[in-house]
Structure 1
């Protein structure tokens, strides 16, 4: 099954998470616009796990935290809808938001296969020790996808946070 848009182009799938650096969604929207392809924004709720997968889009999930599940998911998806709309609507890109459950890499891979996606777009892990430890324990979504997918995977790098990205407040050192 394919979710080809009005132009017949295969959709692009982009992994989105709250607080993600905007370059990922911006790159995905720009690419979708250039290809006249629809964009499927996919958020994977890691606090849920998949108990059954049905290609007819009936995914049955159970929450690891059932008391806080529905309200938190609604708040997160509303935030992501707003962010995706801001990135896509100005370009005229057709987009949807899907909430998935389970392991992020495998969930994105399943969605891409089901939708007949032309590409999966993800960001690199955030910088910092906490994210490195998480990546070491859980693995990298980008790395898993790049090794296990049949469609291309675009990995958008984290923005450079060094002096090149900092605004200048004065001229170069030593200038008068």
Structure 2
């Protein structure tokens, strides 16, 4: 059963498998996460972290107030629709209950916090594409998977994307 909308109560699933997604990401990441969700009899919580916003404060009832880093940026319903379409395509023919949630801030911290709030069973992320731009970004921000592995107790599944590097290939060539 595919549940493309959050549960009617508006509550997050308890003990889900969380998968971090970005627009245009290879569908293998979501499919692998769905396989683990089915294996555990859990819901799949597909999560996009909006890095253009930050948490300004959280109410005692848990409602999170956010603000954009750039005040000219308008939240995009088109992005939500795009992510929902990509997930629906990736999960075509897969029997798993899922919902899409957007959180804000630093990806590793946001995924960690969501995993704590839902008592997640597993966090699934994909690797980045290799290249000098991604290598520079990772040098300054670090790998989301590595940062998650050091900051929370849950298992992390890192799904490789694209062709793996050869054993003798330099992963971070100098420019």
The higher radius of gyration belongs to 1
Q: Which runs of 5+ in 1 are unaligned?
A: 5-9, 163-176
| Shift of residue 69, structure 1, vs aligned partner | 2.0
Quick check: which one's helix share is greater? Answer: 1
Structure 1 residue aligned with 2:95: 92
After superposing on structure 2, the runs of 4+ consecutive aligned residues of structure 1 that deviate more than 6 Å are none
1:56 to 1:140, Cα distance in 2 relative to 1, 3 A = farther
1:143 aligns with 2:143: no
Give RMSD over aligned pairs.
2.1
Deviations 1:63-115 (A, max 9, x none): 01232322xx2111111111112223521211111111110100000001101
TM-score, normalised by the number of residues in structure 2: 0.81
Structure 2 residue aligned with 1:74: 77
TM-score, normalised by the number of residues in structure 1: 0.80
| Shift of residue 3, structure 1, vs aligned partner | 2.5
Alpha-carbon contact 1:2-1:117 (below 8 Å) kept: no
Q: Which runs of 5+ in 2 are unaligned?
A: 1-10, 166-175
1:3 aligns with 2:13: yes
